[in-house]
Amino acid sequence: MTVLVFISMSQNVYAKQWVTEMDDVYKNLNFKTQSNPDAVLSYLKANIPSDKEDENILAQHHLLLSSVYNTLIYSELAISHAKTGLKYVTFEKEPWLFHKLQLALSISFDSAGQPNKGLSTSISALKWAESTHDLELTIDAQIVYGYLLISLGEYISALDTLHQSYQLANQSNNTAPAEIAGIIALVYEYRKEDDLSIPYYQQAADYHRAKNNWVELSIALYGLGRAHGITGKNDLAFKELQESADVSVEINDKQGAAYAWKELAGLEMKNENFSKAQELIEKSLVEFKNSNNHLMQFDIHIILSRLAIKQNNPKMAEYYTEEAIKFIDEKRQPLQYISLLKQVSNVMAHKQEYEKAYNKLWNVMLKEKKHLSKQSTQQLHKLRTKYELEAKDQQNQILTKNNEINEIKIILQARNNKNLKYKLFFLILVSVVLLIYAYWFRKNKNYFEKLANIDSLTGVYTRSKSLELLTALFDQNKTKRTNFAIAMFDLDLFKNINDIFGHQQGDKVLKEVGLICSSLLPKESITGRFGGEEFIVCFSNLADNKVKELLEKLRIDIASLSIKLNIDNLNVSISTGVCFYDKTKQLSFNTIDDMIKIADDLLYIAKEKGRNQIKYSL
C-alpha cells in the first residue's frame, strides 16, 4: 500500500473539521469534496476570488483547493495552493486558519515524498491545538502527524498517535472513528500485519458506503482488496479492487482508478495472465503521467520491468529500469532507490551477467545496511521474544553455509563448471546476508530485551520477567531477612467489559491499570502482568501496614476508572490476595511459587466473598 493513496483520506477526514469556522460557501463545497471532488475543483477554478476580496476568503479558497488537489493526488498543485493561502493569513490574526494551511502544506509535502518538510509544522499545530483545548484541530493535527510518521517509517509512534485520534473522534461532532480506521489499517499493513488491517479497512468501507463518500469508499476498498490479496483471498481481492476502480472512474478520480488497476495487474501477474496485466499497468501509467505523479511512475516502471522478466524479455526489463531512474531521487527516496538497484541486479542476472549482478547486489546490500534500523516492525515483533535463539540459529546456518562453500570450492578445482560457479555465487551471497543479520541482532540486543520484558499494552513487566525478578529477590531475602509481600490482583468480571464495551475499551482499561500501578506503587516494587487481566506486585522491605495502605489506595483508584474513562455503565474493580513473609519468623516458604500460590488462593477467596476487596495472609 502506498501512503499517497491514503493522503486523500486524511485530507477529507480533517477537512471536515474546518466547518465551524469556514465561510458558508466553502463549508458546502467542503462536504461535496467527499462525494464529487472533480465537481468541487471545477467550481473553485471557475470562481477564484479577486485580490480585492477579504484575505480570509482568499486563504480559505486556496486551502480548499489544496485539499481537493491532495484528494486527487496532485501533490505539486496542492503544495502551491497551500503556500498561496499562507500569503493571505497570519498566526496573529487567524491562528486556526493559519494552522489549517500549515497542515495542508505538511500533508502535501508528504504526498510529494518529502515528509520531513512537514514534520515541524504539524508538531507546532498539534501543540497549539492541545494548549487551546481545540478538539477538532487536535484530531486534525494528530492525523497529519501520524501520516508523516508512517512515511518516515516510525510505525509504532504513528499507530499510537492515530489511535489517540481514533479515541478522540468519539467526542467529536465532525469526525467518526470509522473515518480514521482506514489510516490505522494502513499502519498495520506497513507492519505486515494484514489480518489486523482488514477489520479497520472494513469498518471504513462500511461507513463511507453508507454515507455515499465515494472517494473514501474507493480508498478503503483499495486497502481491503490489497490486504485480502496478500492474505490469499484472491476472489475477494479482485472484487474489491475492481469496485474501487469502478467508483473512482464514476467520480472522475483518474488516479484512484490507476492505483486500483495497478493492484489488479499484480493479481493478474500472479495468475500468469501477463497480457491482461500489461494492459492494466499501461492504463495506470497513462494516468500517473497525466498527473505528473513521479513516485507512481517509478513504481509502474519497476513493475513493468518485473513483468518483462516473467515474459523472458530482459532487454525490455532493462529499458524499464532505465526509465524508472528518471523518477526517483536517491537522497530523498533512498529505500525506493535501493529497490531499483535490486531490480537492476535482477535484470543483469537474467542477462547472464552474473559478475555484474553480484557486484551490483553487493553495493545494494551496503546501502540497505544503513536502513536496517527502519525495517518492518513485523520482523521486530517476531524477533523480540526469540532473537537470541534466532541469532544462534543464524550463526549455525552461516557455519553450515561456509562448510558448503568450502566443499564447492574443492569441487570447482576439479570441475571448472559454470553451473557450480553460479551456485557458489548464491551461497556466498546468502552467507553475507546472514552475517549482516546476525551482526544486526547483536547490535540491537538491548532493544529487543526491552521489548521482550515489558508488556506493550500496560507498560509493566511481562510474566516471565516478573518471575525472574521475583525469584532473584526471594533468594536474596533468604539471607537479608527483610519484610516481603506478594500481592495478586485480578480485574473483576473483565470478560463482561470486553463483551459489552468491546476489546478496544477492555485494552484501554488494562492500559489505565498499568499506568495507575506505575504512578502509585514505589519504584523499588515489582509489578507485572501475570495473565490476561491478572497482575502481580511484590513489595520488599516495606512495613505490612504500608503495604495494606498502598493496596487499598490501588483498589480505590482502579474502581474510580469508571469515572475517569467517562463510559456509561462501566464498572471496574479488582479482587486481591496478599501473602506476607514476616522477617521475625522462621522462613516458611521454599520458593517464590509458594508465596504466589497463597496470594492466588486468597485472591479467589476475595472473589467468592463478593469481589472488590483484599484478603491478607496475616
Is the pLDDT score of 379 beyond 80? no
Q: Please give the pLDDT value at position 26.
A: 81
Which whole number is the average pLDDT over 66-85?
A: 87
What's the pLDDT at 276?
93
pLDDT, tens only, 308-364 = 999 999 999 899 999 988 888 877 777 788 888 888 888 898 888 888 878 877 887
Q: How confident is the model at residue 17 (pLDDT cuts 50, 70, 90)?
A: very low
* Cβ atoms of 174 and 17 closer than 8 Å: yes
* In contact, 223 and 189? CB cutoff 8 Å: yes
Task: Determine which of 14-28, 40-54, 298-312 has the lowest per-residue pLDDT on average.
Answer: 14-28
How far is residue 305 from each of residues 226, 275, 353, measured CA to CA in Å? 21, 14, 17
432 — pLDDT class (breaks 50, 70, 90):
low
Domain ranges for the chain:
1-169, 192-290, 293-371, 384-448, 454-616
- pLDDT at res. 51: 72
Q: Mean pLDDT across the chain, nearest whole number?
A: 83
Q: Could you give the angle at the alpha carbon of 307 between the alpha carbons of 303 and 313, nearest 5°?
A: 130
Stronger pLDDT, 195 or 415, i.e. the higher one: 195
304: which 3 cell numbers?
513493468
Please tell me the class of the 1-169 domain: mainly alpha
Residue of higher predicted confidence among 47 and 448: 47
Residue range 154-207, pLDDT digits in tens: 888 988 999 999 999 899 888 889 888 988 988 888 888 889 999 999 999 999
Which one is predicted more confidently, 359 or 8? 359
CA dihedral 400, 401, 406, 407 (to 10 degrees): 80
> If you average pLDDT over residues 525-552, what whole number do you get?
94
Query: Is the domain covering 454-616 a CATH 3.30.70.270 domain?
Result: yes
In terms of residues, how long is the chain? 618
Neighbours of 554 (CB within 10 A): 23
* 15: pLDDT strictly greater than 70: no
User: Secondary structure of 227-262 in the HEC alphabet?
Assistant: HHHHCCCHHHHHHHHHHHHHHHHHCCCHHHHHHHHH
CATH code of 192-290, in short, is 1.25.40.10
> pLDDT-derived band of residue 115, with 50, 70 and 90 as boundaries?
confident
Tally of CB atoms within 10 A around 523: 5
3-state SS, residue 526: strand
Phi, psi of 49 (to 5 degrees): -65, 150
Alpha-carbon distance 89 to 102, whole Å? 11
pLDDT of residue 449: 64
Q: What pLDDT score was predicted for residue 490?
A: 96
pLDDT higher at 23 or 539: 539
Q: How far is CA 484 from CA 196, 474, 547, 552, 583, in A?
A: 42, 8, 10, 18, 8
Q: How far is 70 from 510, CA to CA, in rounded Å?
A: 39
- How many other C-beta atoms can be found within 10 angstroms of the C-beta atom of residue 616? 18
118: how many CB neighbours lie within 10 A of its CB? 26
Average pLDDT over residues 379-387: 43
Does this chain's domain 1-169 share its CATH topology with 192-290?
Answer: yes
Cα distance between residue 2 and residue 428, in whole Å:
34
pTM, full prediction: 0.51
Give the full edge-to-edge strand order of the sheet including 574-581.
Answer: 526-529, 534-540, 484-491, 574-581, 614-616
